[in-house]
C-alpha cells in the first residue's frame, strides 16, 4: 500500500506545483494552446488535402470505374443471354413447326398408302366375288339343267316300285315339265 500512497502524494504535490488547475484550462497558456491548435490543424489539413485526400479520391474513382465496368459487362452478358434465349426460342419454335409438318406429311402419306391398300383389297375382293358369283350362276344353271333329268330319273324309279308297269320315259319327262311350270 505504500506505493499507492506514494503515488497519490506525488500527484498532490504536482497539482500544488501547477496551482491546482488542469493545464488545458489554465488561462495563462491559452495563447500558446491556440497557436499549437492552429499549427496542428493546419498540418492535419495539409496532410489530408495533399496526401490522403487524393489517395482516397483515387480509390473511390477506381471503385466507381470498376463498378461501372462491371455493370457494363453485366449488361453485355445480359444482352447476350437474351439474344441466346431468343435464338433458342426461335430454334425451338422452328423445330416444333418442322416436327408438326413432318408428322402431318407422314400421317398424310400413311393415310394415302392405307387408302390405296384398302382400295386394292376391295378391288381384289370385288373381282373374286364376281368370279364366285359367275361360278355360282354356272353351277346353278348346270344344276337346274340337271334337275329335270334327276327328277325324271327319280319319278321313274319311284313309279317302278309303286306301279306294276313302269311309265315310258317320254311320259315321265312330260309330267315333270308340267309340274315345273306350275
Q: Residue 29's CB: how many other CB atoms inside 10 A?
A: 13
In a domain, 7, yes or no: no
Q: Is residue 152 part of a domain?
A: yes
Mean predicted confidence (pLDDT) in 43-65: 92
pLDDT over threshold 80, residue 139? yes
Task: Report yes or no: 176 and 148 within 8 Å, Cβ to Cβ.
Answer: yes
Q: Per-residue pLDDT averaged across 153-158, rounded?
A: 80
Number of domains in the chain: 1
Look at residue 46 and tell me whether its pLDDT is greater than 70.
Answer: yes
pTM of the model: 0.40
Whether residue 124 is contained in a domain is answered as yes
Please check whether residue 170 lies inside any domain of the structure. yes
pLDDT of residue 74 exceeding 70? yes
Label residue 16 by pLDDT band (50, 70, 90): low
Q: What's the CA gap between 18 and 23, in Å, rounded?
A: 8
- Domain-located, residue 69: yes
Mean pLDDT of 139-162: 79
Amino acid at each position: 500500500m505504500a506505493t499507492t500512497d506514494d503515488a497519490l502524494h506525488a500527484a498532490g504535490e504536482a497539482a500544488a506545483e501547477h496551482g491546482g488547475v488542469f493545464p488545458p484550462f489554465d488561462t495563462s497558456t491559452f495563447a500558446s494552446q491556440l497557436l499549437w491548435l492552429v499549427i496542428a490543424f493546419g498540418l492535419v489539413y495539409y496532410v489530408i488535402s495533399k496526401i490522403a485526400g487524393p489517395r482516397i479520391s483515387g480509390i473511390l474513382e477506381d471503385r466507381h470505374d470498376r463498378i461501372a465496368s462491371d455493370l457494363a459487362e453485366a449488361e453485355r452478358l445480359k444482352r447476350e443471354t437474351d439474344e441466346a434465349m431468343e435464338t433458342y426460342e426461335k430454334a425451338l419454335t422452328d423445330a416444333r413447326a418442322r416436327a408438326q409438318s413432318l408428322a402431318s406429311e407422314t400421317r398424310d402419306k400413311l393415310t394415302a398408302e392405307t387408302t390405296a391398300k384398302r382400295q386394292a383389297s376391295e378391288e381384289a375382293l370385288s373381282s373374286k366375288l364376281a368370279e364366285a358369283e359367275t361360278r355360282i350362276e354356272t353351277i346353278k344353271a348346270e344344276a337346274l339343267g340337271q334337275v329335270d333329268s334327276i327328277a325324271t330319273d327319280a319319278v321313274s324309279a319311284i313309279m317302278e316300285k309303286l306301279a306294276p308297269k313302269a311309265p315310258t320315259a317320254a311320259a315321265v319327262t312330260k309330267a315333270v315339265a308340267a309340274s315345273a311350270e306350275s
